[in-house]
Structure 1
Amino acid sequence: MLTYEDCIGLADLEKDEVAEIAEHERLPYMTALEKGAALLMQPWGDAAIRQMVWDNLCKANQRQKGDRSLELADLYRTTCERHPNPCDRRNSPVRPTHPIWRQ
């Protein structure tokens, strides 16, 4: 049987990153771990994980939670270093778009 720590190691995620995915998506930790692992299999997954951490950081700043903001700023820096892939799904040529927004 695999433990949570085994799954973390297999997913190439840190516990803090999984916690931020869970908070951002309002998921239990194990489901957030699965989602994070699935995201990392996509070319734009690194950017999605960075964005989730960034969103949580912005929310903490808006709520004026100083200690939390500092922790998330450090985590965001670490996440950017661990997941540097610049691919963004919004710029993907295969992403479906609404006919009004096509150029």
Structure 2
Amino acid sequence: MLTMDDCLGLADLEADEVAQIAAHEHIPFMAALEKGASLLHEPWGDAAVRQMVWDNLCCATCRSAAETASLTMLYNDTCTRHPNPFDRRHSPTRAVGVQRH
């Protein structure tokens, strides 16, 4: 049987990152873990994970200084752990008129 730490290790995600994916996507933790692991197999996955943490950080600035500070630290850690600069907005599969087979 796999433990939560095993699953996090296989996904190459920290529990806090998964919690932010869950909050961003409004899904349970385990579904967020699966989504995060799946994202990191895409060339743009690192950027997607960073963006979710960033989006949550931007929302937190209106609520709580403590939450903002915590998410700022997490965002910086996430950028360090997932530095891939790939910008998914420029992916050829996202271009208008491109059909995926």
Instruction: Give TM-score scaled by structure 2 length.
Output: 0.92
* Pairwise CA distance, 1:97: 1.9
Which residue does the alignment assign to 1:74?
Answer: 73
Q: How many residue pairs end up in the alignment?
A: 98
Q: Distance in 2 between matches of 1:29 and 1:38?
A: 14
* Pairwise CA distance, 1:74: 0.2
Which residue does the alignment assign to 1:28?
Answer: 28
Q: Distance in 2 between matches of 1:17 and 1:30?
A: 12
2:2 is the alignment partner of 1:19: no
Which residue does the alignment assign to 1:101?
Answer: none
Divergent runs of 4+, >6 A: none
Letter paired with 2:93: V
Q: Distance in 2 between matches of 1:84 and 1:78?
A: 10
Question: Does the aligned pair in 2 maintain the 1:4–1:30 contact within 8 Å?
Answer: no
Q: Deviations over 1:49-99 (max 9, x none)?
A: 000000000000022x1000000000000000000000011111221426x
What percentage of aligned pairs have identical amino acids? 64
2:86 is the alignment partner of 1:94: no
Letter paired with 2:54: W
Instruction: Give TM-score scaled by structure 1 length.
Output: 0.90
Tell me the SS of whatever aligns to 1:43.
coil
Q: Distance in 1 between matches of 2:35 and 2:93?
A: 21
Q: Which runs of 5+ in 1 are unaligned?
A: 99-103
Question: Does the aligned pair in 2 maintain the 1:40–1:46 contact within 8 Å?
Answer: yes
